Amino acid sequence: KNEVEQSPQNLTAQEGEFITINCSYSVGISALHWLQQHPGGGIVSLFMLSSGKKKHGRLIATINIQEKHSSLHITASHPRDSAVYICAENTGNQFYFGTGTSLTVIP
Amino acid sequence: DSGVTQTPKHLITATGQRVTLRCSPRSGDLSVYWYQQSLDQGLQFLIQYYNGEERAKGNILERFSAQQFPDLHSELNLSSLELGDSALYFCASSVDGTPEQPQHFGDGTRLSIL
């Protein structure tokens, strides 16, 4: 059974802090997705990774294929970053989702 | 705005009924994905279509069916509804359905079974 595990489940940070969310997956992937889901329910795709590192604004995503591990970093966190962050493993013909990390950034 | 349109936004119905959820992909996208998000099971992949053909199948129940039409819009049909089918149903689209392409999500349809 494919498993995608995220940690931590919940995270509270002060505005400006550096945040890291971790994701481990169990089988070989075609791509690893990071998604953001706001309290209203809408989902935004943040990154897709198959190797290395990607950066978009204050967000950085990295992946280590050998260790089957990915991290999402948020620099200079802001209250608008408060959301649920979900990683998803795409094996090419299947998707497996983590349970999400609920992030709250306090002003 | 992702460019993906899902209708209706909310749907309330009773057990045993049948409903149809509709998705219009972003202009230019050929592939459509359907996902279910429930409180107890989180996000689950249901099914993917590419240019009218089924490409991949996930945890889609036999009571559920989907199709993608020649104009590329897609419909997810849910029948013999049970209380456990209450969930948010998301549609996403991508250019060619390959893992390397980003997916663009609709706002979802919230289905409540009474």
pLDDT tens digits, one per residue of B68-105: 999 999 999 999 999 999 999 999 999 998 888 889 99
Q: Is B100 near chain A, with CB under 8 Å?
A: yes
B63 Cβ partners below 8 Å, 6+ apart?
B78, B79, B80, B81
For residue A64, pLDDT over 60 is answered with yes
**Cβ-defined contact of B58 to A90 (cutoff 8 Å):** no
For residue A51, pLDDT over 80 is answered with yes
* Contact present, A85 and A93 (Cβ < 8 Å): no
Give the per-residue pLDDT at A27.
Answer: 76
Residue of A nearest to B93 (CA): A45
Of B35, B58, B107, the CB nearest to A94: B58
Residues of A within an 8 Å Cβ radius of B: 29-31, 33, 35, 41-45, 48, 50, 86, 88, 90, 92-100
Q: What is the mean pLDDT of residues B9-28?
A: 97
Per-position b or e across B88-112, b if 16+ CB within 10 A of its CB? bbbbbbbbebebebebbbbbbbbbe
Q: Indicate the pairing of strand B10-13 with strand B109-113.
A: parallel
Model confidence at A80, pLDDT cuts 50, 70, 90, reads very high
* CA–CA separation, A55 and A73 (whole Å): 9
Contact list in B for residue A94 (CB cut-off 8 A) is: 45, 56, 58
Give the per-residue pLDDT at A1.
Answer: 56
Mean pLDDT of all residues in chain A? 92
